[in-house]
Structure 1
Amino acid sequence: MAVRVLVASRNAKKLKELRRILDEAGVAGIDLVGLADVPPYEEAPETGATFEENAIAKARDGAVATGLPCVADDSGIEVDALNGMPGVLSARWSGRHGDDAANNALLLGQLGDVPDERRGAAFVSTCALVLPDGTTTVVRGEWRGTIAREPAGDGGFGYDPLFLPEGGTGSAAELTPAEKDAVSHRGRALTQLIPALAALA
Structure 2
Amino acid sequence: MKLCFATRNTNKIKEVKAKLGATFEVISLDDIQCNDELPETTGTIEGNSAQKAQYVWDHFQVNCFADDTGLEVEALEGAPGVDSAMYAGKHGDSKANITLLLKNLQGNAHRKAQFKTVITLVVNGIQHQFEGIAAGTILPDTRGSEGFGYDPIFLPEGHTQTFAEMSLEQKNDISHRSKAFVKLVDFLQNKI
Q: Say yes or no: TM over 0.5.
A: yes
Pairwise CA distance, 1:199: 5.2
Give the 5 Å matches for 1:47-62.
47-62=41-56
Deviation at 1:85, TM superposition (A): 0.6
Q: 1:51-72: CA deviations, max 9, x gaps?
A: 1110011011112233221110
- 2:29 matched to which residue of 1? 35
Alignment correspondent of 2:11: 13
- Number of residue pairs matched by the alignment: 192
Letter of the 2:15 partner, please give it. Answer: E
Preserved contact between residue 91 and residue 158 of structure 1 (Cα < 8 Å): yes
Query: Which is bigger in relative contact order (C-alpha 8 A, separation at least 6)?
Result: 1
Unmatched tracts of structure 2, length 5 or more: none
- In structure 2, the residue matched to 1:122 is 114
Q: RMSD value over aligned CA atoms?
A: 1.6
Aligned to 1:181: 172
2:184 matched to which residue of 1? Answer: 193
**1:8 is aligned with what amino acid?**
A
- Shift in Å at residue 130 of structure 1? 0.6
Q: State the shift of 1:19 in Å.
A: 2.4
**Aligned mates of 1:153, 1:21 — CA distance in 2:** 27
Shift of 1:177: 1.6
1:92 is the counterpart of 2:90: no
Identity %: 40
Which blocks of at least 5 consecutive residues in structure 1 are unaligned?
A: none
Please list every run of at least 4 consecutive aligned residues from structure 1 whose deviation after the TM superposition is greater than 4 angstroms: none
Which residue of 2 is the match for residue 166 of structure 1? 157
Structure 1: how far apart are the matches of 2:186 and 2:159? 29
> If the length of structure 2 is used for normalisation, what is the TM-score?
0.93
User: Within 5 A, what are the aligned runs for 1:76-87?
Assistant: 76-87=70-81
CA distance in 2, matches of 1:42, 1:11: 15
